[in-house]
Amino acid sequence: MGALLELAVVIPTFNERANVPVLIAKLDQALAGRRWEAIFVDDNSPDGTADAARELGKVDPRVRVIQRIGRRGLSSACIEGMCATAAPMVAVIDGDLQHDETLLPKMLDRLQAEGDLDLVVGSRFVDGGGTGDWDRDRVAKSAFATRLSQRVLNVNLSDPMSGFFMVRTQVARETVPHLSGIGFKILLDIMSASPRPLRAAEMPYVFRLRTEGESKLDHVVAMEYLIALYDRRFGKVVPVRFAMFSAIGVLGVGVHMAVLSLFFVLLGASFLASQIVAVAAAMTFNFFLNNALTYRDRRLRGLKPLLDGWVSFCLVCSVGAIANVGVAAFLHDARANEWAVSALIGVLIGAVWNYALSSRFVWGR
Ligand code: GDD
Ligand code: MN
């Protein structure tokens, strides 16, 4: 038994109170004879997870707690935990007992024995691994996300979505400045953001069923995952926000046409009146959708901010529409392009205008 600290086990938690003492007992067993510490990174869970962990820390100095107040996020929690240890190796494991902690000593042995290996990944998709009792829906979703990440990021792992791995702390520390910290997929982030290709080995484990508490993986997280992937791959060419803004703009055109046909065709209103209603409906639709999605992180809330934001968004878009029509008409008159190309360039200019000004004046800080 060495006297030096060998391993830190980082445990991101949100509402895992009941699992805390069980996990520590299991780590104690699995890592008997090794020098280790556990670092809970808790986002101020309402159920008092941090308190439960500190209770243990009082009698067992191997148990440490980072309590983050006013922040949420699995990836960023893992990053903070990994940076908070003096141990040369650091593992990340879920706090809900779904990962197999008995793999930890084997991972540690492997990293200690093979100096050129950067990390060891617990995989559900190599021989001997498994996803336990997942329903078919989740298996399909997980397989899709896995394939997507392998294609988009060229990450050569059978289970790039795994949240269970061990890495040399130095390697993690070198990669941190390049990480986005968004979303759920810290391993994927590390693998794809590292300035040099990392050497990874995979070891099988079977994903266990959760018995206490509940999963935090929901649609918002799935969406964040897709955004993070996009950002990694294309973010430098077309920023995520602009892509979302434009996609929502396209939906807005659909709303416009629907409202227009409702008023003009079905209700027999005048074309001008129908157009005005359609434009107002489309702008309002775009404003609220952008507020909820594109600018989720700086969302306007409350009646007054929403009303102010809506008014300035409509102003920005009105000028954008004039620019759109003006540019298209100019190009068309100059016979520089086909009519359709002129119109598309107008649309593009209008979109860039709307995006640039609304990000500054509607959702700017
Ligand atoms: N600090 C912190 N902040 N911890 C969080 C947060 C958060 O916002 N959200 C979730 N956690 C913790 C949970 O308390 C749990 O310990 C761990 O992160 C995993 O969260 P779960 O909600 O249990 O995720 P899951 O079981 O659906 O997802 C697991 O499977 C994925 C593979 O399909 C996780 O292991 C993922 O890491 C893994 O990629
Ligand atoms: Mn879980």
Complex prediction ipTM: 0.96
pLDDT computed for residue 362 by the predictor: 93
Which residue in this structure is represented by tokens 């702390």? 169
| Rounded distance from Cα 216 to ligand 1 centre (Å) | 6
pLDDT computed for residue 267 by the predictor: 92
| Rounded distance from Cα 96 to ligand 2 centre (Å) | 6
User: Among 94, 187, 189, 215, which is best to mutate for testing ligand 1, by the most ligand atoms less than 8 A from CB?
Assistant: 94
Nearest-5° Cα angle at 15, 14 to 21: 105
pLDDT computed for residue 90 by the predictor: 98
Ligand found nearest the CA of 163: 1
Please compute the mean of the pLDDT values over residues 31-38 and round it to a whole number.
97
State whether CATH 3.30.420.40 applies to domain 7-215.
no
* 43 within ligand 1 shell (Cβ under 6 A): yes
Whether residue 142 has pLDDT greater than 90 = no
| Rounded distance from Cα 80 to ligand 2 centre (Å) | 20
- The mean pLDDT of the chain is 89
- Structure-block tokens of residue 94: 């879920």
CA distance 159 to 21: 28
pLDDT band of 184, cuts 50, 70, 90: low
Strand (E) positions, 124-182?
A: 165-168
Ligand found nearest the CA of 68: 1
Among residues 46, 43, 39, 36, the alpha carbon closest in space to that of 20 is found at 39
| Rounded distance from Cα 43 to ligand 1 centre (Å) | 12
| Rounded distance from Cα 96 to ligand 1 centre (Å) | 8
* 159 within ligand 1 shell (Cβ under 6 A): no
User: Among 9, 11, 14, which is best to mutate for testing ligand 1, by the most ligand atoms less than 8 A from CB?
Assistant: 14
pTM above 0.90, yes or no: no
CA distance 259 to 164: 50
Q: Where are the domains of the chain?
A: 7-215, 240-362
| Rounded distance from Cα 104 to ligand 2 centre (Å) | 18
* 275 within ligand 1 shell (Cβ under 6 A): no
pLDDT computed for residue 134 by the predictor: 73
- Structure-block tokens of residue 349: 């200019």
* 216 within ligand 1 shell (Cβ under 6 A): yes
Give the Cβ contact number of residue 233 at 10 Å. Answer: 14
**% of the chain at pLDDT higher than 90:** 57
pLDDT computed for residue 222 by the predictor: 74
H or E segment to which residue 67 belongs: strand 63-67
* 13 within ligand 1 shell (Cβ under 6 A): yes
pLDDT computed for residue 229 by the predictor: 78
Whether residue 1 has pLDDT greater than 60 = no
* 187 within ligand 1 shell (Cβ under 6 A): no
* 41 within ligand 1 shell (Cβ under 6 A): yes
Ligand found nearest the CA of 146: 1
Beta bridge partners of 166: 91, 120
Beta bridge partners of 7: 36, 89
| Rounded distance from Cα 153 to ligand 1 centre (Å) | 22
* 143 within ligand 1 shell (Cβ under 6 A): no
Q: Which residues surround ligand 2, an ion (CB under 5 A)?
A: 96, 98
Task: Indicate the burial class of 364 (C-beta count within 10 angstroms; 0-12, 13-18, 19 or more).
Answer: exposed
CA torsion 68-221-107-105 (nearest 10°) is 50
> How many residues make up the chain in this entry?
365
pLDDT band of 149, cuts 50, 70, 90: confident
Nearest-5° Cα angle at 150, 209 to 13: 35
* 211 within ligand 1 shell (Cβ under 6 A): no
* 97 within ligand 1 shell (Cβ under 6 A): no
pLDDT band of 63, cuts 50, 70, 90: very high
Task: Indicate the burial class of 262 (C-beta count within 10 angstroms; 0-12, 13-18, 19 or more).
Answer: middle
